[in-house]
Amino acid sequence: MPPTPPWQGRIDHEEIGPSQRWHQRVQPWSSERQGGVALIGFAVDEGVRRNAGRPGAAQGPLVARKALANLPILGEPALWDAGDVLCQGQDLEAAQAALAARVAQVLQQGSLPLVLGGGHEVAWGSFQGLAQARPEARRILIINLDAHFDLRAARQGNSGTPFRQIQQWCAAQGRPFDYRALGISRFANTQALFERADSLGVRYWLDEELQTEAGLHAALAALQQDLAGCDLAYLSTDIDVLPGAVAPGVSAPAPLGLPLWCVERITDAVLASGKLALADFAEFNPEFDRDGLTGKVVARLAARIARGHGR
């Protein structure tokens, strides 16, 4: 397993009462670990390069860990670091297969995989790992918080194709393709992509529909019905779903995006279902961040999932 950066940060020696931070709790993953949450880095942006995006997301896992290191422990379960998956040359497919194997191992040991990308090509590797570890789960609900459908047709897989690849796998396996996308932008997807989503039975909510409490309430009501009917849920959060002012460090910043409070409410609803089996974050690109803001957003959302899983 590739080495990961040391977990280090502030220690409140003079504080009275519980004052642990993530860097004091995270331990290396091993074959003996059980339960809790296991971080897996997907330090890859070959899919972004293939999709003509702005590379740099390969540094996301390192910077996200640094942002997590000083967060306080407030209800998190056991925390493990399962290292980084790297891409040798341009062999994206091998990196995705390696990620799938690591996700499957974490799941088989009873832990929640929390994958830090990396471009959104991470989703194809993440999903493969879930399918390998939980073959009995026929209905996996995929919830993608994203400005983009990522259903592109392309000769090679890339950061814009992962959910199309999952759909094709589901069709080949005779399984339902239960894909829900929240935050889709009418200004970031072609008509062909909207038509493809419709033809595949994708349910989606536009970013402009989710700017108010009423709009979010309607989306959550539908999502909760989907969660009740699925075997497992997979939550994928593309950081470019957030407004560019909140998350500038992405390949494609959003001029509108979903408010952070909205993303957190959706995340909480998935956690509350008790069916979350896998979560990942995609497209965090530290090269374009400002004042470490996007890294702090990723850390906040990752810690929210860990805390919710611990309760």
Domain of 281, CATH number, reads 3.40.800.10
Residue 10 lies in a domain: no
pTM comes to 0.97
Q: With left for phi above 0 and alpha for psi between -120 and 50, is residue 110 left, alpha or beta?
A: left
> What is the rounded average pLDDT for all residues in the chain?
96
Q: What integer pLDDT is reported at residue 2 of this predicted model?
A: 42
232-238 and 276-282 beta bridge pairing: parallel
Q: Percent of the chain beyond pLDDT 70?
A: 98
Residue 137 lies in a domain: yes
Average pLDDT of the residues in 162-177: 97
H/E run at residue 182: strand 178-184
Residue type, 270: V
Query: What is the span of the domain harbouring residue 214?
Result: 25-310
Average pLDDT of the residues in 102-117: 98
Residue 2 lies in a domain: no
The model's pLDDT over 190-199, given as tens digits with 9 standing for 90+, comes to 999 999 999 9
Confidence of residue 263 (pLDDT cuts 50, 70, 90): very high
Report the domain count for the chain: 1
Q: What integer pLDDT is reported at residue 5 of this predicted model?
A: 58
| Residue that is written with structure tokens 């209800």 in the block | 75
Residue 183 lies in a domain: yes
Q: What integer pLDDT is reported at residue 240 of this predicted model?
A: 97
Residue 11 lies in a domain: no
Residue 79 lies in a domain: yes
Q: What are the residues facing 281 on neighbouring strands?
A: 116, 237
Residue 33 lies in a domain: yes
How many angstroms separate the CA atoms of 285 and 287, rounded? 6
Residue 160 lies in a domain: yes
